[in-house]
Structure 1
Amino acid sequence: MKITGTRSYIKIEFEEKVIKIKGELLVGGFVAYKDSIKNWEPPHESEKIDDLEKQRIIDMVINETKNSHLVITFE
């Protein structure tokens, strides 16, 4: 898993696909908006992300960043 981003979104590279998740950079972390998790980036944009896969992505991102200097949380 590779996580990159800006002040307003993060990009998660997950299982050879990429998803862009909107959010907000705060002091010491990033708040990502669950509602923005809908589709993969091209060339997989036609693949919808169901609730089970969405939760799996969220859990993996939280686990990946829980001990880092930039903690990602979801709301």
Structure 2
Amino acid sequence: LPYVLTVGAFSIGFSIVLFLFALREIGAMKTGAIFSTSSLIGALFAFLILGENFTLLKAFFGILMFFGVYLLSLE
């Protein structure tokens, strides 16, 4: 349990630091759009590592999310 808590605390802290750097470098709108894809990446890892369901609906909306991030990167 202490190892899990330590890894969790460092992961959350590192995520917040990277989020703040991204806010400064690319702005709030782009950072929010890219950061929101973290749930999709988590679902993909759950599928690959834990064997969770990855339905066609999840794949469709994941592609839609990445398309939105791509459109934001064109600016």
TM above 0.5, yes or no, is no
What is the TM-score when the length of structure 1 is the normalising length? 0.37
Structure with the higher helix share, 1 or 2: 2
Q: Which has the larger radius of gyration?
A: 2
Which structure is higher in strand share? 1
Q: Which has the higher contact order (CA 8 A, sep 6+)?
A: 2
Q: TM-score, normalised by structure 2?
A: 0.37
